[in-house]
Structure 1
Amino acid sequence: MAKVRISDGVLEGEILDNVIGGKYYSFKGVPYAAPPVGELRFKAPQPVKPWDGIRSATAHGPICCQRDIFFGTVETGSEDCLYLNVYTPSLEPKKPLPVMFWIHGGGFLSGSGNSHTYGPDFLVNQNVVLVTINYRVEVLGFLCLDTEDVPGNAGMKDQVAALRWVQKNIEHFGGDANNVTIFGESAGGASVAYHLVSPMTKGLFKRAIIQSGQNLSQWSRCFEPRLRAEAIARSLGEDTTDDKELYEFFKSQPIDKLVGITAPITVEEELGIRINLILCVTDEKKFGDNERYFYGDVYEKLRNGIHEGVEVMIGYTTHEGAIQFNFLKKEGIFDKYNKYLQCFVPIELLLQCSVKDQMAIGKKVKEHYFGNKKVSIETVDPFIKYITMQILQYDVLQYAKILAKTNTNRLFLYQFDIDTERNKYTDHFKARPYTKGKCVCHCDDLVYLFNDEDVPVNINADSYKMIKNVTKLWTDFAKFGNPTTDGSLGVEWPTFDLERQKFLIIGNELTVAEFPDKEELEFWEQLHQQYLPKK
């Protein structure tokens, strides 16, 4: 066992040996904020109450109440869920170690930082301290009434509280509070992008890695949060628009009623032609002296610059859109794509263009990807290419271009293209037979950074070399701000600029390329330039 004294009391963790990568110290289930229950439901996180004696830190704390968005299962959780985990190779290193702070994905609706999915072995083996966290999700974390009682973004403020905890305590685990890299995937990647412009996070980290996410996509920005809250209340039997009645209603609901809710507020959502995240980050209104996590326009914030001096890595997987394939096939959505041209309209354009323009856009997109063919099992390959650009790739590349234009922060862009037996999510969504055999789905990068208990490690397989490559890229960036600083991987990853737009293809080999998906991107850019007011 291992003991550490932090600001709130003494923790007793464990020393794990005979694990992949060798020995490390593990401290699980560490509270970083008070339980957000009772009158604290929907409120910003409050300080932990210090404890006397020794607190065991050998088991994960409860996860937030939720329904898994990938597998559809209701997970046993608790409102008392604000816990984090710390893994370190040394409690007393000769020199403080770089810290990597992981923010899980799950559409702001599900997920946790637990080691079942996010096992620390691969990263800690590269001599960094790893912190993983839980934060409030779904209604508990992202309900917004646009009122002082429920201004929104509680889940994001949880993440900020955990970052502040790191600044206060990580030295006791051998970590360097002045060298913290935040990283996350999907909604976790979007979270990282928001932290780069939030007034609450300045000075809390030095570097950032945005995996398959950003904050420009519509799915990462809450659409009409107050109307959404009223729709959720109606779905639970309360039809009111009164502020106080809504607040008291949500506060009084048993927790199981606030899990797995669907509350469409548009016909497009009702049709279900794409995955919609009903609760996420919102533009907060000002109430007294309350700290606002985020407010304003995301494009304007990015153009004005992210936090000074923070270095950034950002990227996407080759077949992000495969995440929707199995869902769409099961729901018979292909028929709707063949019937309604509006299904092909990128959601930003759908929300801002006239119906006449939507029909013209839909026709252009359909012809670009499918010619005169129908959307079907036989045309899954172009369908996944379309979905990939629609849900993520276009906005990732726009994010990179806008950030590069400011020319104030070092930026590295990548495409994740590794395909081995470890690609857990490709296998789950059953897209491989329809993508000419190769598929690198949304989330497939995770199993090369973390020891996922569902994906056994074979140290004799080529995939183990891929794990070594990816973790070295990520941890060298965390250590030095340069992911290929020593040349040991046989490639030099250049920074991204507008002139050559160089990026790294992280495949079974590492390759530098330039102008990612140039023709595809130009098609999308022309659509947006033609039909949208300038962003």
Structure 2
Amino acid sequence: MGFQMSLLLHFMLLHIGTQGQDGPIVEVGVGSTVRGVEEYMPNSNKPVYNFMGIPFAAPPVGDLRFQPPQEIPLWTGELDGTDFGDICPNVIPLLPAMSENCLFLNVWTSSTSQNANMAVMVWMFGGAFQLGDGDIYEGTEFATLEDVVVVTFNYRVGVLGFLTMGDSNAPGNAGILDQRMALQWVQRHIRSFGGNPDAVTIFGESAGAMSVSFHLVSPMSRGLYLRAIGQSGVATTCGAICVHTTEVAVNRSFVIAESVGCPQSDSDGVTACLRNLDWEDIELHSFEYLPGPHLDGTFFTDWPLSTYSTGEFNRVDYLLGFNQDEGYIFMGDAEPTRENIATLIREYLAIIYPENLDAIFQACMDVYVDYDSMVTDEDYERAYSYFIGDKLFLGQIHDFARKHSVHATTFLYYFNHRPFWSEMPTWATASHAHEIPYVFGEPFTDDTTLEFSEAGGVLSRQMMTYWANFAKTGNPNGNGLPAWPQMNCSSTNYLELVPNPRTGERYEPERMRLWVDTIPALDTYRSGTYRGMPWACPS
């Protein structure tokens, strides 16, 4: 989480203090207009229009705390869209302007003509469902260079976004339902900003990519988007943030409530007590207890992996992938060596696999540790990073990609470019979240605090075009880019994203086979829930 926190703060500093000014006015509805800001990329005379702080749901305050988002009528008159709205309460005290009145979205577009009919890309931010906001991601470069409409938005995180009592007092999954409400607003109004509501692509990173896959499995989100992009995340890349049973989620909520001074033993008492507290007294406990999504029977009608295994998901075009060293920032304080690597792996597995641990541990040791060939501490650090990254991300992403490709067009990528500004060990290239600045075209802005190489700028431009092509047509290819093969279940073709992208087939097959085949067969604990059962490609 360390780098992602640093990147979030970097984006925050990049976009803090946006100033209002005279700018374009868009009519969103009868008697409802919004004034935005005209912006320009460096060395470009093409204007982009940015409309910020647009409310898409009622403020979730008072009795609406812990409730699903409520629709809000359009405002009357002119809305000042020249500055961002408040950020939803986070565990990061440095973030500016936080309040519970935070359900706002932002739009970047190169045309306000309702006939422009541009593809729309709706971004869902990451942050383990405990932190983050939509305002820190800048859409100017995307809108300028690729002629797409970019939308970002806030959703509730932490306790305020995911506490549940399993009843109408606090149904839970409020943060995910905020996302859905934003997508509904886009369907109703994005044409006013030059967007095509029938060509919406949802995309996100980490918990944002998990969210994308949640909308893929939920019948409640069907019809709200046409395509999906997931960067380093699917519904089961969960670590500590998994989709839990209602029982587990409610028990966690009682523990959270007691920790903030609400020891009541019933739902009515707990929620009444919590609604009387300041949000600061509640939200700062998010990282301590990590509240997250739960199987509510409405948004989630079944375990996401079960839905994927049966093919009963929303069968839309899907582009997804991972970074080379996803696990590096999740190693924590571990310092793997020849002497302790086995202990580290076993202790990690023991938390997740309480049954058949010996067999699962040995299977992992056979894949990741070779005492004969591994000589330096760096060898063991790399092995442990791969182990963590494969468990949390790569294995699950491969599994979802295989299952999706049986029913719908699927493209898989592998980001393997070492950022010029990286401070990781020399053996590592790209860790979690490293691809985000490249996707958003940050090498092409003068405001960045990061430093990019010329090759990094080339890669960023290629990635933006791949992403935009996919949003426009369902196929990332074109515009003279290196060919990106569509993947299928058995071959798992992928594109390696480096300054000169190249194709590959069956990424690290032994490592991936461990997580998509071997361990599901060995895991006898909660088999069929979020872990799923062994699954094979149809013949």
TM-score category, normalised to shorter length:
0.7 to 0.9
TM superposition shift of 1:382: 0.8
Q: Mean alpha-carbon deviation: is it higher for 26-35 or for 244-253? A: 244-253
- 2:509 corresponds in structure 1 to 518
In structure 1, distance between residues paired with 2:508 and 2:68: 42
Partner AA of 1:9 in structure 2? S
Aligned with 2:456 (options 426, 451, 463): 463
- 2:131 corresponds in structure 1 to 110
TM-score by length of structure 1 reads 0.85
Aligned with 1:78 (options 90, 93, 99): 99
RMSD, aligned CA:
2.7
Aligned with 1:317 (options 323, 337, 340): 323
8 Å contact from structure 2 (residues 32, 76) kept in 1 = yes
The reply on whether 1:450 has 2:440 as its aligned counterpart is: yes
Q: Mean alpha-carbon deviation: is it higher for 75-84 or for 476-485? A: 75-84
Task: Note closer, same or farther for the CA distance 1:338–1:375 as it changes in structure 2 (3 Å cut).
Answer: farther
Q: 1:107-162: CA deviations, max 9, x gaps?
A: 11111111x44343135421100001111111111111111121111011111111
- 2:276 corresponds in structure 1 to 252
Task: Note closer, same or farther for the CA distance 1:245–1:416 as it changes in structure 2 (3 Å cut).
Answer: same
Partner AA of 1:209 in structure 2? I
Q: Percent identity?
A: 28
Aligned with 1:481 (options 461, 466, 474): 474
Partner AA of 1:100 in structure 2? M
The reply on whether 1:527 has 2:533 as its aligned counterpart is: no
> 2:483 is paired with a residue of what secondary structure?
coil
- 2:333 corresponds in structure 1 to 328
In structure 2, distance between residues paired with 1:397 and 1:346: 23
In structure 2, distance between residues paired with 1:383 and 1:196: 31
Task: Note closer, same or farther for the CA distance 1:378–1:499 as it changes in structure 2 (3 Å cut).
Answer: closer
- The count of aligned residue pairs is 492
The reply on whether 1:101 has 2:122 as its aligned counterpart is: yes
- 1:136 corresponds in structure 2 to 156
Flag structure 2 segments of 5+ consecutive residues without an equivalent: 1-22, 528-532, 535-539
TM superposition shift of 1:496: 1.2
Partner AA of 1:231 in structure 2? V
In structure 1, distance between residues paired with 2:204 and 2:161: 17
- 2:4 corresponds in structure 1 to none
- 1:2 corresponds in structure 2 to 24
- 1:303 corresponds in structure 2 to 309
> 1:5 is paired with a residue of what secondary structure?
strand
> 1:393 is paired with a residue of what secondary structure?
helix
In structure 2, distance between residues paired with 1:346 and 1:416: 30
Question: What pairs with 1:261-410 in structure 2 (closer than 5 Å)?
Answer: 261=285, 278-285=290-297, 292-305=298-311, 307-325=313-331, 327-329=332-334, 339=343, 342-345=346-349, 349-350=352-353, 353-354=354-355, 357-366=356-365, 368-372=367-371, 379-404=380-405, 407-410=406-409
In structure 1, distance between residues paired with 2:496 and 2:518: 25
In structure 1, distance between residues paired with 2:47 and 2:368: 51
Question: What pairs with 1:43-192 in structure 2 (closer than 5 Å)?
Answer: 43-68=67-92, 76-92=97-113, 95-114=116-135, 116-192=136-212
8 Å contact from structure 2 (residues 26, 33) kept in 1 = yes
8 Å contact from structure 2 (residues 186, 197) kept in 1 = yes
8 Å contact from structure 1 (residues 338, 374) kept in 2 = no
Partner AA of 2:333 in structure 1? L
In structure 2, distance between residues paired with 1:16 and 1:341: 50
Task: Note closer, same or farther for the CA distance 1:159–1:20 as it changes in structure 2 (3 Å cut).
Answer: farther
TM superposition shift of 1:218: 3.9
Question: What pairs with 1:495-510 in structure 2 (closer than 5 Å)?
Answer: 495-510=486-501
TM-score by length of structure 2 reads 0.85
In structure 1, distance between residues paired with 2:225 and 2:287: 36
Q: 1:394-426: CA deviations, max 9, x gaps?
A: 10011112222xx3211111111122315xxxx
Q: 1:283-334: CA deviations, max 9, x gaps?
A: 114xxxxxx3223121221123355551111111111011224x3249x999
8 Å contact from structure 2 (residues 108, 139) kept in 1 = no
Task: Note closer, same or farther for the CA distance 1:77–1:376 as it changes in structure 2 (3 Å cut).
Answer: farther
